[in-house]
Amino acid sequence: MPLQIPDPVLGAWTKGFPAHAAGLRLSEVAGADLRLSDLVTPVLTVHEGALAHNEGTVFAWAREQGVLLAPHGKTTMAPALWQRLLEAGAWGISVATPWQAEVAVDAGVATVLIANAVTDAAAVRRLSALLAADDGLRVLCWADSLAGVAILADGTRGAVRPLDVLVELGGAQGRTGARSVEEGERIAQAISEAPGLRLAGVAGYEGPFGPDRSDASVAAVDAYLRTIVELHTRLVYPADIRPVLSAGGSSFPDRAATVLAPQGAEADVVLRSGAFQIHDDGFYSRMSPFGPLTGTAPLRSAMHAWSRVVSQPEQGLALLDAGRRDVPFDLDLPVPQSVDGEITALNDQHAFLRLADGASAGVGDVVRLGLSHPCTAFDKWRVVAVIDDPDADDPRVIGAVATCF
């Protein structure tokens, strides 16, 4: 079913788009004959070919592994990009907060997995109301404590339809989640005893247990994933539900598939990897298993920033017009791709580019930047241009997507 895709009118609020595009609707950008050179730096772009490659690669792999995908929609918060995932066969869309869930429901997503505990009583009541209003909607969330279950139970008291709740299992030095299988069993029992709730499975996040792809990290991730399976095998689910086992961020989906997929005969094994659609030139280029580890083609970064030199105050130093308001910096600094050098620091609206010996970038030149971490790239942009080929002399703008941050 087609989602409701935002189609705003472009104007001065649309960072990166030129004044002569004002008045166009988002859906009209594809036919406006814009080029990258028409856009105003700094600007973020998405590469259509890389999007299609990444989606095709990961969904084909998931089918071979016998696992389902509910990609994390929080990565882009762009319903147009969610639509592509659903058309590729996604089981649903994952989100991180009740507000993001409501955005997804409003867009028309039929299965929304809130990969988090919901402890806001008003939000619980709102989720219950959304379920009551739409028989075709499924919303799932997590609980990792008896206190959390009590909030969910109170907010769904008298509910027309139950809220599906997964027990979140964590581990020492992890993030959220019950810290033992036995504690998880107690939480599951509390969920089962609440009239407005339905025990729907077990979930967790393996990322904190593996900061890299070393053998020790992979072993720690596998050990944690096995506890999810152990808790699942101890639980008794309602007769009217096929339980969900969910893990698999964007760094270890291969390990989640290996450990969880054998449970696929009796449960839906749902991976939430979300960064794969965009990928990057930083953290995920180092951490993603896609390529030799999975026997697939490597993923390709679908996002780039384009930034103009505004100053050359010293020999070997160029200041660009992209800063912390425009590009991600939480995991890695941007990487210059069209000139030899290094980004050494970011201010709010400037990047410090130290040029390599013999390299040059004059005032007014545009530099292409590779980025790290799509989750903190898209949140800085309300509209993102889609281009045909970032390696072309002057790429064509073939569309645009709106974000809902």
Q: What is the DSSP string of 287-348?
A: H--TTTTTTSPPP---EEEEEEEEEEEETTEEEES--TTTS--SS---EESSSSEEEEEE-S
| Triad 31, 42, 327: Cα angle to 5° | 115
Closest by Cα among 62, 187, 186, 63 to 117: 187
- For residues 110-129, b (16+ Cβ closer than 10 Å) or e, as one string? bbbbbbbbbbeeebbebbbe
Strand partners, 401: 384
- What is the model's pLDDT at position 172? 86
Return d(Cα 87, Cα 222) in angstroms, integer: 31
Q: Residue 197 to residues 94, 99, 165: CA-CA distances in angstroms?
A: 19, 20, 7
95 phi/psi in degrees, rounded to 5: -140, 175
Q: At what angle do helices 48-65 and 79-87 cross, to 10 degrees?
A: 40
3-state secondary structure (DSSP) of residue 388 = coil
- What is the model's pLDDT at position 174? 84
Half-sphere exposure of 373 (CA within 13 A, CB side): 13
Q: Is residue 323 a contact partner of residue 347, using CB atoms and an 8 Å limit?
A: yes
- What is the model's pLDDT at position 38? 98
Whole-prediction pTM value?
Answer: 0.96
Q: Is residue 383 a contact partner of residue 403, using CB atoms and an 8 Å limit?
A: yes
Query: For residue 374, what are its two tokens?
Result: 């799509």
- What is the model's pLDDT at position 247? 96
The size of the chain, in residues, is 405
- What is the model's pLDDT at position 302? 98
Strands 351-355 and 341-346: antiparallel
Closest by Cα among 106, 176, 94, 102 to 141: 94
3-state secondary structure (DSSP) of residue 361 = coil
For the chain, percent helix, then strand, then coil, each to nearest 5? 35, 25, 40
Return d(Cα 55, Cα 41) in angstroms, integer: 28
Sheet holding 68-69, edge to edge: 68-69, 268-271, 244-247, 197-203, 163-168, 138-143, 111-117, 93-95
Low-confidence residues in the chain, pLDDT < 70: 1
- What is the model's pLDDT at position 1? 66
- What is the model's pLDDT at position 8? 96
